[in-house]
Chain A
Amino acid sequence: MDDQIKISVKSANFFYGSQQALHEVNISIRRCFVTALIGPSGCGKSTFLRALNRMNDLIPGTRLEGRVELDGQDVYSSSMDVIQLRRRVGMIFQRSNPFPMSIYENVAYGPRVNGLMKNRAELDVTVEKTLRSAALWDEVKDRLARSAMSLSGGQQQRLCIARALAVEPEVLLMDEPASALDPISTAKVEELIYELKRTYTIVIVTHNMQQAARVSDETGFFLNGRLVEFAETKKLFTAPAKRETEDYITGRFG
């Protein structure tokens, strides 16, 4: 087992019923790297992302063949505790989805359901720490008891990031986290990703190629359910090895 590799996917095939959405995907995601996944709509990048923390299990009739390993451990084996897996592999969704509760309760939710904290004081510390990590503390510290719904879209998304960080995950999966945000909020989220990569392994799905180029270390290009190319971000954007990749990043399709 290579210590540099956090997640390793080996010949993964994914099916929605009889329809195949991923074909023979092989990828190694490195620890404390930001890995970006790009590709046109419907290319399978979100399906792939959701396969990593088994969120696809929620959709009846889906099935994965092949292997997904987290620290060398088979994610799809029967001995894998899905609840524990999802605590270790956090997820940020395209549409920010804070619970209709207070800001505090949103962040405290994960630690509470996982029984991570012994008392209120400890929980208070975690809430403050994660809100600081998500660069939101200064904006909300005086209104923690207010509803999370009173925040702006960008703040809501950062709250979701704080909420995900509160359960001390090892990996963060981000499914187009900034696609619904204005440029200023997007910049803040990107800055945040840059900060977070020191501690977390991050996999980000994005439509925005500039974003992938800005935030990621390595980039994978998906097309029609296949991983066409996977390389260092700089290399993929300046000297792509495959013709399809070049066509896509130069805007010839997609």
Chain B
Amino acid sequence: MRRIVDRTFVAMTLAATLIILAMIAIIVGNVVIHGRDRLSWEFLTAAPEQGMMAGGIFPAIYGTVLLVLLMSIVAVPFGVLVAIYFAEYARAESRLYRWTRMAVNNLAGVPSIVFGLFGLGFFIQTIGHGIDQVLYPGYLVYGQPSVLWAAMTMAVLTLPVVIITVEETMRAVPQEYREASLALGATRLQTILRVILPQAWSGVMTGAILAISRGAGEVAPVLFTGAAYFLPQLPTRANEQFMHLGYHIYAMSTQSPDVEATKPILYSTVFVLLVLTFLLNLTAILIRNRMRRWTTR
């Protein structure tokens, strides 16, 4: 009897695993089968035409990559600084630490649409308008949705991920290295920059990878902060709007005048989004592995 229970349980775990695998296979397979016919060099390099029922998706690819890069430039250094504070300077019993810790943990659980509204209210209405009033009175320059504010909003969304991963790798660096460095007359900053951070690079890259995966896939935060339904030209300045793959998919699937005609394009776009996220991840993983080879014992 016990053996039957045991075997049934093993079978259940196996079945659950296989179901997950099957679901991923169905999603990817479905996207590939329906999307591949429409895929072409032209599709990747041209702009949408005829109300998105023809043409390509280059502006959306460009916009997504731009957004993710800008976001990383903001989120990674900022996250690393907070992680350094948490892992190296903060005392566990201090009030500042407890409050910021709680804030970061809660930030990670906030629904992404709330970040979108926050971005609109804070970055665009408050900061953007503030800049306009001081520097460009009477004009709308920064007080409008743009790739800059979308990237900032996305950075706030991905910050907790960066902070937590970097902090964990910094904490994993053995205390004996800190002691060795300090015992040689190094300052805490020198110890962090020269001994701790070099050993925590893989964590920084992992944080960046997770942030990028999340940033490339989320739509809600850019909905009000910068993503455009359709743009004939690529953004060239930080205060211009941009097209976004995720938002483009949303727009095509809900607002197309001819659903049947849009379908192949829709599938191909989803396929491109998947590949793009995968490639961004792969790049970061390759960089991380290269760094690991330099720093491991």
Contact = CB atoms under 8 A, between A and B. Distances in A.
A100 B185 contact: no
Most buried by B among A55, A86, A95, A147: A86
23 contacts: A55-B182, A60-B92, A83-B187, A84-B185, A86-B184, A86-B185, A88-B185, A91-B179, A93-B180, A93-B183, A97-B176, A98-B180, A99-B181, A99-B195, A100-B198, A100-B296, A100-B297, A110-B185, A113-B185, A113-B187, A114-B185, A114-B186, A149-B297
A198 B111 CA distance: 68
B179 A58 contact: yes
A164 B178 CA distance: 14
B184 A58 contact: no
Contact of B183 (A55, A95, A147): A55
Interface of A: 53, 55, 58, 60, 83-84, 86-88, 90-91, 93, 95, 97-100, 109-110, 113-114, 147, 149, 160, 163-164, 167
Q: Say whether chain B's binding surface is mostly helix, strand, loop, or mixed.
A: helix
Contacts of A160: 180
Contacts of A99: 177, 180-181, 195
A83 B180 CA distance: 13
Contacts of A109: 181, 184, 186, 194
A167 B185 contact: yes
A192 to B, nearest CB: 18
B295 A58 contact: no
Interface in B89-148: 91-93
Contact of A110 (B93, B184, B296): B184
Contact of A163 (B92, B184, B296): B184
B181 to A, nearest CB: 7
A164 B180 CA distance: 9
B183 A86 contact: yes
Contacts of B176: 93, 95, 97
A113 B194 contact: yes
Nearest to B175: A58
A100 B295 CA distance: 7
B76 to A, nearest CB: 23
A113 B182 contact: no
A104 B184 CA distance: 15
Nearest to A60: B91
A93 B178 CA distance: 12
Those 10 A-B pairs whose CB atoms lie nearest each other, nearest first: A87-B185, A149-B297, A91-B183, A110-B184, A113-B186, A97-B176, A113-B190, A97-B180, A86-B185, A100-B297
Given A84-B185, A87-B184, A55 B297 contact: no
B179 A86 contact: no
A166 to B, nearest CB: 8
A53 B180 contact: no
Interface in B153-199: 174, 176-187, 190, 194-195, 198-199
